[in-house]
Structure 1
């Protein structure tokens, strides 16, 4: 075996170990359920109940509506993800931008049955990501293309036990699809062609559920607690790994459960404060493997937390202004990767609602998500990769809400 073959084979071995971790990106949580929530950093979203999108955070909040309510909108996510100062076995790699723009639609409808019982339906997303390295990036075995989308179809019901306490819950039908491509780009100096390492185009459906409760101290002060069970999604389609056809197997993706506490306090006719604490069980996403036992990668992820606080100012009958701040913690702990940019993040959010009339509202939300520089230092049989990653993003939300 000549030196070129030894080099190529060792790089393939190392690249597969690293590239597979990028498919973990399907597990990234999306906070993109509504434009109103986006404008307040989703602080208190499960109990404010200013439009039908509240059911995405807490089904029990549907009892706060005395008339049918509809909300529909879209969130645009423009990510700025950089991989910089990278070296592989001492060779300097150029900086690369691997972010992109994604659009996440949402629609919600709540139908009160009587003064105690309400039902609702929703369509939105909790998980998804998109990153893409340049075609000629030398380390495309580490990155390549990841384009993962999910949609959550929810059917929910809520019941008011008494003046203070309401309960709710529902079923979640989760559809996920993904395209993953990892490869060694062609190298003219070594006279080697492009080598595909991982090529996946698959989708699947899984069933989850959610539960929630709300306690109303009075009409201006309420608190909520919710829990969402996220299943293991099994995706099937075209799947090739190291030139082996695995299309007869399924890719198993354990999605994290979530729990959230929310509060809302209206201090006077003009101003309210609201807040949330959310726990995300990232530690259950321990391994990415197929139903046939082909293991792509192990992880050492930790549970995540979101802490958010916001304020709403009721300017007049036409305008409502809002702002918020969120700090959310990284799912990664001591094990970091060039292919999965992640860090603690800070959200700076603002938004407004314009009331077209007493029953119709246009909502807008804007968030700047600020990440941190993260050092990645990975070792394997072929050598060492060192790099710095950073992920920032702009999120824009537009929504129309109406009561009937």
Structure 2
């Protein structure tokens, strides 16, 4: 896409790109500080600032003046890989075999990241509103040290994305509002793996460790998605929201270097990354003048993420680089808001986040069921300006990983394998500035 539009989009998107996944799979939930403070409970309908645009375009009709929100979320993961047993490929002049060893524990595979966002809502009249959003829905990043002993399973795994959205909403009456939008998703993929093996003499009593580049992908691409949403307002104290996001498969073009391609005379220049659709239902209820409760159920269609593929330029066929075969997942969030006075709003929430990982597990994208414990507050600087803070402590579970690298040489070379235990916790903190004109 060598156009003025694509170059402008690239320049804008890189400011709002994310490589940190804390939700299930590699979904990024960190769209606002207000949402983080309530574990994103009720996020598709509360509409306390313009960040609601990331979840439900229909909620734009609840604004009667131009509104802007911008924020930044810090994500500090604590990811560990321990109790690792590695069956390494051992080559000699007789028969290749596997050599078992224990790999040192590591907890330095995911670094601190910062996830930005920006939202603008512009009412056109009492019925119509338009909006612009820039945030991230997907991203993951793990990188093992160069001396990690099982480099065929570790290496570098990085997926970054930016979502640039343009939306339109229409208010039918005092009860119903509808919205829809177009999402331009810019993605970056970087994958690197070394095939490490022991090269031994014929007797197997003298060996040295060798490495060969097994996979090296650096690619970028743009996909077009979309979203629709509806808001039903029962009365001033009770309302519901429902939204659906369509996510495309992103074809990223760039440098694709795959060991098997060299062995079979194949040339590749693209990698395919399937992304899941997302549906969300939210409710908000103001019980008293000071206390509200809210909740959300979000469904994520992770069954679309069955494998990461590359292309064969000559045959126009796809080759699987890594199988995942994830299943559809969900999260459930509940929260409460306390309107202390005109200056201060307090909030808290809890989320249970179900992992999409099924039978095929991996140390490169460590994932488990997660629990979110969140709190936050808003300080209304004036009638038009507010500052929000959110904080979450996320707790994961131990996952027993069993991983096999298929070398596609049946009967000739045995496949390296690994067993390990992964665990991921995280601390998230966010700040946000909102203003209405």
Q: With structure 2 as the length reference, what TM-score do the two structures score?
A: 0.83
What residue number does 2:419 align with?
386
Q: Is the 8 A contact 1:43 1:308 kept in 2?
A: yes
Q: Distance in 1 between matches of 2:24 and 2:376?
A: 28
Q: Is the 8 A contact 1:238 1:247 kept in 2?
A: no
- Summarize the Cα distance change of 1:156–1:75 in structure 2 as closer, same or farther, 3 Å threshold: same
What residue number does 1:85 align with?
83
Q: Distance in 2 between matches of 1:205 and 1:348?
A: 34
Per-residue deviation, residues 32-53 of structure 1 (Å, max 9, x unmatched): 1111101100000111110000
Calculate the aligned-residue CA RMSD, in Å. Answer: 1.9
What residue number does 1:64 align with?
62
Q: Is 1:287–2:307 an aligned residue pair?
A: yes
Per-residue deviation, residues 58-112 of structure 1 (Å, max 9, x unmatched): 0000000001100001111111111100111341110012121111110000000
Residue 247 of structure 1 and its aligned partner are, at CA, apart by 7.1
Q: Distance in 2 between matches of 1:66 and 1:85?
A: 57
What residue number does 1:236 align with?
253
Q: Is 1:397–2:430 an aligned residue pair?
A: yes
Q: Distance in 2 between matches of 1:328 and 1:43?
A: 12
Q: Is the 8 A contact 1:137 1:185 kept in 2?
A: no
What residue number does 1:13 align with?
none
> 5 Å matches for 1:122-271?
122-184=133-195, 190-242=207-259, 244=261, 248-271=268-291
Per-residue deviation, residues 108-166 of structure 1 (Å, max 9, x unmatched): 00000011110000100000011111210101110111222100000001000111000
2:332 maps to which of 284, 304, 307: 307
Q: Distance in 2 between matches of 1:378 and 1:52?
A: 43
Residue 392 of structure 1 and its aligned partner are, at CA, apart by 1.1
Q: Distance in 1 between matches of 2:417 and 2:160?
A: 32
Q: Is the 8 A contact 1:71 1:400 kept in 2?
A: yes
Give the SS at the match of 1:194: strand
2:128 maps to which of 117, 134, 156: 117
Unpaired segments ≥5 residues, structure 1: 1-24
Residue 334 of structure 1 and its aligned partner are, at CA, apart by 2.4
Residue 179 of structure 1 and its aligned partner are, at CA, apart by 1.7
Give the SS at the match of 2:45: helix
Q: Distance in 1 between matches of 2:115 and 2:381?
A: 24
Q: Is 1:94–2:104 an aligned residue pair?
A: yes
- Summarize the Cα distance change of 1:242–1:384 in structure 2 as closer, same or farther, 3 Å threshold: closer
1:106 maps to which of 96, 102, 117: 117
What residue number does 2:396 align with?
371
Q: Is the 8 A contact 1:310 1:324 kept in 2?
A: yes
Residue 298 of structure 1 and its aligned partner are, at CA, apart by 2.6
Q: Is the 8 A contact 2:25 2:367 kept in 1?
A: no
Q: With structure 1 as the length reference, what TM-score do the two structures score?
A: 0.90
Q: Is the 8 A contact 2:157 2:364 kept in 1?
A: no
Q: Distance in 2 between matches of 1:322 and 1:267?
A: 14
Q: Is the 8 A contact 1:156 1:171 kept in 2?
A: yes
Unpaired segments ≥5 residues, structure 2: 1-22, 88-99, 200-205, 313-317, 406-413
Residue 297 of structure 1 and its aligned partner are, at CA, apart by 2.5
- Summarize the Cα distance change of 1:345–1:178 in structure 2 as closer, same or farther, 3 Å threshold: same
Q: Is 1:348–2:373 an aligned residue pair?
A: yes
What residue number does 2:5 align with?
none
Q: Distance in 2 between matches of 1:215 and 1:76?
A: 33
Per-residue deviation, residues 216-269 of structure 1 (Å, max 9, x unmatched): 000110001100000000111111111747775311111000100000001111
